[in-house]
Structure 1
Amino acid sequence: MPTAARLIAAAVFLAVAYVAAELFKPGLPPETQFGWFAPICAAAGFVVGWAVMGGLAGRGYLPAAGSGLRTSVTIVFWVLLGFSVREMILRSIRMRYDGVFDAIEGTFDIMLDYGLALLRPEPLVALAIGGVLGGLLVEWGNRRWR
């Protein structure tokens, strides 16, 4: 059911995911072609913000800060998984895997590589601060327009 908290959460975490994606780009090799990377991350932020943070609103400000962090971590998980599965499919088309289980294992290897590339201060700080402030903003909006 649409609520003010869900709408605010979707908008805030769309922005958090977009900013974090843009801050993630400089840590990768210069020849990397990003295409729709930031908009896809923003879409994931919208969906996860709506589903996760929007549903956790109304429990108080301190839990909201934690829920905001949880939402940021959830966004990172789904984005890493989605782009890892995409990369695994591209590699399997090029016959880089011996079988299905190699491809599944390769997905998690790729996910780990992408996760290690994320371990830079800029995107992590954006996700942490954006998550906490986003959670507090969603809680405020929930109380304001309940």
Structure 2
Amino acid sequence: MISSNKLVAASCLAIIGGLVAEFVKPQMPEGSNFGHMTLISAGVGLVVGWRVMGKRAGRSGSLELGLVGVAAMVFWGLVLFGLIEMFRLAMRRRLDEPVEAMERAVTVALEYGVYLLHPNVLITLAVGAVISGIFTNFAARNWG
């Protein structure tokens, strides 16, 4: 069911996801093909904001809510990008076995996770967590 807290949480995390994707791009090796990285990251933020933060709004503190939402967005974003790379390699027949494919997905997710350790990205995630938690709880208390 649509509620104001879900809409606010989804919007906040979609914006954060898109910003983080844009801040990660300069950290990646030259010649990297970003594809739809920003849109995918914003989509992950949208879904996580709706499903995770939106449901918890009003029941926990703003900081906790924002940190849980951003952590879930980062986790699922890394998982999704690892799986996308795994399928890309599998379609090119570069992977021989399913175990090798899963290892590659985890490796790519961890490599992308290292790019998130840049100070600009960390600051964006931290500030975004606080702001999205405050906005989402505000929406839940006043409009929900």
Does structure 1 residue 114 correspond to structure 2 residue 112?
yes
Task: After TM superposition, give the deviation of residue 144 of structure 1 in Å.
Answer: 1.3
1:65-85 per-position Cα deviation (integer Å, ceiling 9, x unaligned): 111111111111111111111
Task: After TM superposition, give the deviation of residue 33 of structure 1 in Å.
Answer: 2.1
Q: 2:68 aligns with which of 63, 67, 70?
A: 70
Q: Indicate the residue corresponding to 1:32 in structure 2.
A: 32
Gaps of 5+ in 2: none
Q: Indicate the residue corresponding to 2:123 in structure 1.
A: 125
Q: Indicate the residue corresponding to 1:12 in structure 2.
A: 12
Q: Indicate the residue corresponding to 1:47 in structure 2.
A: 47
Task: After TM superposition, give the deviation of residue 2 of structure 1 in Å.
Answer: 1.2
In structure 1, C-alpha distance between the alignment counterparts of 2:104 and 2:51, rounded to whole Å: 29
Q: Indicate the residue corresponding to 1:82 in structure 2.
A: 80
Q: Is the 8 A contact 1:56 1:64 kept in 2?
A: no
In structure 2, C-alpha distance between the alignment counterparts of 1:35 and 1:125, rounded to whole Å: 25
Task: After TM superposition, give the deviation of residue 9 of structure 1 in Å.
Answer: 0.6
Q: Percent identity?
A: 36
Segment of structure 1 superposing worse, 123-132 or 92-101:
92-101
Q: Is the 8 A contact 1:11 1:46 kept in 2?
A: yes
In structure 1, C-alpha distance between the alignment counterparts of 2:96 and 2:34, rounded to whole Å: 28
Query: Which runs of structure 1 show a deviation greater than 2 angstroms over 4 or more consecutive aligned residues?
Result: 92-98
TM-score when scaled to structure 2? 0.93
Residue-pair matches, total = 144
Task: After TM superposition, give the deviation of residue 17 of structure 1 in Å.
Answer: 0.8
In structure 2, C-alpha distance between the alignment counterparts of 1:107 and 1:34, rounded to whole Å: 17
TM-score when scaled to structure 1? 0.92
Gaps of 5+ in 1: none
What letter is aligned with 1:144? N
1:38-73 per-position Cα deviation (integer Å, ceiling 9, x unaligned): 01111111110011110111125xx22111111111
